[in-house]
Amino acid sequence: VAPQALMLYNGSLVTTQARALAERLEREAGPSVEAQVDRSFRLLFARLPGKEEKAAVVAHVSAHGLAQACRVLYNLNELVYPD
């Protein structure tokens, strides 16, 4: 449903939680973007990212910031539609 997808990406709850996650990652993983990405995958998906996933998220963090990358991670199908 399109409104649901827009709410998941643009909603205030997701934005607030993405900022909170970014702050936690900075505290727990330090300034290394690679370490922050690894920690985010451990917290959200209980696994480390694959090489391609990690490269894509690191590039997104570099281009758009950690909080925006967290918003994207919160909207991945793996998290939205768990098995």
pLDDT band for 11, please (50, 70, 90 cuts): confident
pLDDT of 43-75, one tens digit each?
Answer: 999 999 999 999 999 999 999 999 999 999 998
pLDDT at res. 82: 64
pLDDT band for 13, please (50, 70, 90 cuts): confident
pLDDT band for 17, please (50, 70, 90 cuts): very high
DSSP states along 24-83: HHHHHHTT-HHHHHHHHHHHHHSSPPPHHHHHHHHHHHHHH-HHHHHHHHHTSHHHHS--
